[in-house]
Structure 1
Amino acid sequence: MEATHRVLVVDDDADIRDLLVFVLEQAGLEVSWAETGEDALAKVREHQPDLVTLDLTLPDMDGTEVCRRLREFSDAYVVMITGRASETDRLVGLEVGADDYMNKPFSPREVLARVSALLRRPRLGAPSEPASSVEEPAPVAGPADAELDVGGGLVLDSARHVATLDGERVMLTPAEFDLLRALATRPGEAWEREELVREVWQGEFIESDFLVDVHIANLRRKLRRAGSRTTWIRTVGGASYLYDPS
């Protein structure tokens, strides 16, 4: 299959790195790799990958610090890969801008499912192409080529993956934007976490409660920092979320 997307694999464990590179290249992706945080940041600038798989434990810096620095200049999807079992490590990773995470050990099928699901979602108006032969559901429904006024001065530009509040940009990660857009296209309707995972992440391996809750918390915090007093996203019954710009 012709390589239509670029992926950077970041891991200092040669066995895991080689496995990831092999699996992703077999899926038809253009793959480069790095084994340190500094090298990873340099290669993100040089190659401008669509997606980065990022180990949390690197010889020169923690993977969360790599992700934080990467987010200053790149909107590449970031999948963190960790052997750390604690929820805190995953929480910090998602808070600094990761879109998804995988625990070690992982299966090649899991890697392809996660990567394929993310790469099927458009970035900055680029056309969406299948990343592999893995079957995935359709991307989030809604206007893909126009601005969507979702109330309260909040406007979502799906073509560029940009959210603005009263004309000022709100800096969201790709996953945060897609989550907000999904909720906003069905205002007043409650979404269960599992529904949001299927709609936004399109993956069968994802722990829905933790992933959705962290991204919702990040969205609320960023909208508050932008000066909004609106609630935007309400929790319903302790297990569902509802978009409400009133």
Structure 2
Amino acid sequence: MDAPLVTILDDEPQIRAMLSEALQDAGFRTATFARATEFEAALRHTTPDVCLVDLGLPDRDGLAVVHRLALESGAAIIIISGRAQVQDRVTGLELGADDYIIKPFDPTEVIARVRARLRSPKAPDRAQNTARFNGWTAQFDSYILTDASGVETPFSHAEGEVLRLFLNAPKRLISRQHMQESLGGAAGDSFDRAMDVRISRLRTKLGEDPKNPRLIKTIYGAGYIFLGDVTWS
């Protein structure tokens, strides 16, 4: 089996070279790009496992690239940026990124974050990528939610990680600590905010009433419970 492929989109050649060398030494395959147009052209023929994306690109808004990736690709998305403001991090996560690393960084931190993103929660059987619950069908091989009338809604890799975690443990309390241990990433306000964003987006896509959700219930001070009846195939 081929090693996981990590694509690096950054206009700084030193950063591309540093990340590529560190990731290859850690056992990953890499492909590097300086411009969004080159990166998006390569995606027509290449399926990366993880995409590292800088926000300060010469030919495209990096956040727009992240949003398109989240909608159209099954790859995990990690933003690497010099923008350290909280609002930039929040916006990146809301648009579908899985993680956010601020420049300057240690390459070992990037490797650890990449590995964490590749440790996705597993379904009861690795061959089972379709879950059905309460009139919904979630297809994790194509990142599509289908409602009872056949209307399809795409979900991102980040949202899929959380949804799979819920569907693997219906009607059981899932604590924030368990989510952090299962999904990877450093515990703290950034992780909690990322989870809040993903769960909010999932509730919207599932047509939940934000004031009284039927499927994903918040147990304040404890975590979440998914109340659906789930079958995998």
Name 1:145's counterpart in structure 2.
127
Instruction: Give the whole-Å Cα distance in 1 for the aligned partners of 2:76 and 2:178.
Output: 21
Distance 1:159 1:33, change over 3 A: closer
Query: 1:155 corresponds to which letter in structure 2?
Result: T
Per-residue CA deviations over 1:104-124 (Å, capped at 9, x if unaligned) read 222222111111122343xxx
Matched, 1:235 2:211: no
Backbone CA RMSD of aligned residues: 2.6
SS in 1 for 2:101: strand
Higher relative contact order (CA closer than 8 Å, sequence separation 6+): 2
Q: Structure 1 residues 62 and 161 mapped into 2: Cα distance closer, same or farther (>3 Å)?
A: closer
What secondary structure, in the 3-state scheme, does the structure 2 residue paired with 1:142 have? Answer: coil
Q: 2:137 aligns with which of 126, 144, 155?
A: 155
What residue ranges of structure 1 are gaps of 5+ in the alignment? 122-138
Amino acid corresponding to residue 38 of structure 2 in structure 1? D
**Residues in 1 aligned to 2:159 and 2:125: alpha-carbon distance in whole angstroms:** 17
Q: Deviations over 1:176-224 (max 9, x none)?
A: 112112112222322222311211x234477321111111111112222
| Contact 2:203–2:213 (CA under 8 A) maintained in structure 1 | no
Aligned to 1:13: 12
Match of 1:60 in 2: 59
For the pair 1:185 / 2:168, whether they are aligned, the reply is: yes
Listed as ranges, the matches of 1:189-204 within 5 Å are 189-199=172-182, 201-204=183-186
CA distance in 1, matches of 2:178, 2:196: 13
Q: C-alpha displacement at 1:49, in angstroms? A: 1.7
- Give the TM-score of the pair, scaled to structure 1: 0.79
Report if the CA contact (8 A) 1:140-1:178 is conserved. no
Taking the aligned partners of 1:74 and 1:155, their CA distance within structure 2 comes to 19
1:18-38 deviation digits (Å, cap 9, x = unpaired): 111111111222211111222
CA distance in 1: counterparts of 2:14 and 2:228, whole angstroms: 49
Partner SS state of residue 224, structure 1: coil
> What is the CA distance between 1:94 and its match in structure 2?
1.9
Q: Distance in 2 between matches of 1:47 and 1:37?
A: 15
TM-score by length of 2: 0.83
Paired with 1:209 and 1:42, the residues of 2 have a C-alpha distance of: 34
Q: Which residue of 1 aligns with 2:49?
A: 50
**Counterpart in the other structure of 1:126:** none
Q: How far apart, CA to CA, are the structure 2 residues paired with 1:213 and 1:180? A: 13
- Paired with 1:88 and 1:239, the residues of 2 have a C-alpha distance of 27
- State the alpha-carbon separation in 1 of the partners of residues 36 and 144 from structure 2: 27
Contact 1:144/1:159 (<8 A) preserved = no
Aligned length: 223
Task: Report % sequence identity.
Answer: 34
Q: CA deviation at 1:158?
A: 4.7
3-state SS in 1 of match to 2:131: strand
Q: In structure 2, how many angstroms separate the alpha carbons of the residues matched to 1:120 and 1:242? A: 22
2:45 counterpart SS class: helix
1:205 to 1:53, Cα distance in 2 relative to 1, 3 A: farther
Residues 36, 58 of structure 1: 8 Å contact kept: yes
SS in 2 for 1:191: strand
| Residues 91-110 of structure 1 aligned to structure 2 (within 5 Å) | 91-110=90-109
Query: Structure 1 residues 194, 83: closer, same or farther in 2, change over 3 A?
Result: farther
Partner amino acid, structure 1, of 2:218: T
Aligned partners of 1:194 and 1:208 also within 8 Å? no
Deviates more, 1:103-112 or 1:20-29: 103-112
**1:234 Cα deviation (Å)?**
1.7
